[in-house]
Homo-oligomer: A and B are copies of this chain.
Amino acid sequence: MYTIGKLSKETGVTKRTLDYYDEIGLVNPSSRTSGGHRLYGEEDVMRLERVLALKYMGFSLEQIKSILESSKLNWKQSIQQQLEMVKKEQERLKLLEQALLGVSYSIEFEGGVSWPIILNMIKILHQDPEEVFEQYQQYLDHEDMNKIKAVNDRMTEEDMHEWMQANYEIKKHLHLDPSSEQALQLAQRWADQAERMFESDDELLGDLWEALQNLEEEGIAFYPMDKEIIGFLKSVLAVHKGAK
């Protein structure tokens, strides 16, 4: 028989928690002393351990209570549900990580917090892609959109970093002569990373590039693409093609 203090030390659960579990009927001591002190027996300890296991698995105390009194069928269902919840939560966190990384890089490269970029990024990640790529509707078909979303999902931390940096470098050097070697290198860097991210799906990349050029407002390609960047790339491309 454990007193509440002993049990607390044994299991690492605070007294208050045991208090609470007693109060809500989740783990009741099987007996008491004449003076009213709680005494927990072996079964009580077992029950507590099970409760802790289920708690670790992410169930609420309410759910735990009902699970512990239910049948096999209910068990399987609960576990499956919980599994799905966990998977969804993991996806959410993956997106969250991307958003935070984006903001982090945006601070790093832009030298400060750029709200338009952040808000766009959140939009991309927060809602379904349909709504964000709405402006592309007239230029890209449904298949393209899905592919682009897949590209976004595949993007690693390094991809994101390189992509934002390449864009930022261009922004910093918009004044460069499009025919200069340096401009060509910047454009090349941009194109290389785009190639990498699109896994050489040149058709898709071409479609997106077309769409970006035709857009009237600012475009988004995992990062706000302002007209300036697009214009710069366009002019470099023109010179380069002409020279060839």
How many copies of the chain does the oligomer comprise? 2
| CB pair B72 A100 closer than 8 Å | no
Task: Give chain B residues whose Cβ lies under 8 Å from the Cβ of A93.
Answer: 86, 89-90, 93
| CB pair B72 A107 closer than 8 Å | yes
Task: Give chain B residues whose Cβ lies under 8 Å from the Cβ of A122.
Answer: 52-53, 56-57
Interface residues of A (CB under 8 A from B): 46, 49-50, 52-53, 56-58, 72, 75-76, 79-80, 82-83, 86-87, 89-90, 93-94, 96-97, 99-101, 103-104, 107, 112-113, 115, 118-119, 122, 125-126
Minimum distance in angstroms from A48 CB to a CB of chain B: 11
| CB pair A49 B119 closer than 8 Å | yes
Partner of A87, one of B87, B97, B103: B97
| CB pair A96 B126 closer than 8 Å | no
- Extra 9 A-B pairs, beta carbons < 8 Å, given A50-B118, A56-B99, A83-B97: A57-B122, A72-B113, A76-B107, A80-B104, A83-B100, A86-B93, A86-B96, A86-B100, A87-B97
| CB pair A53 B104 closer than 8 Å | no
Q: How far is the CA of A97 from the CA of B90 in the complex (A)?
A: 10
The 7 closest A-B pairs by CB, nearest first: A53-B122, A83-B100, A79-B104, A90-B93, A86-B97, A86-B96, A56-B122
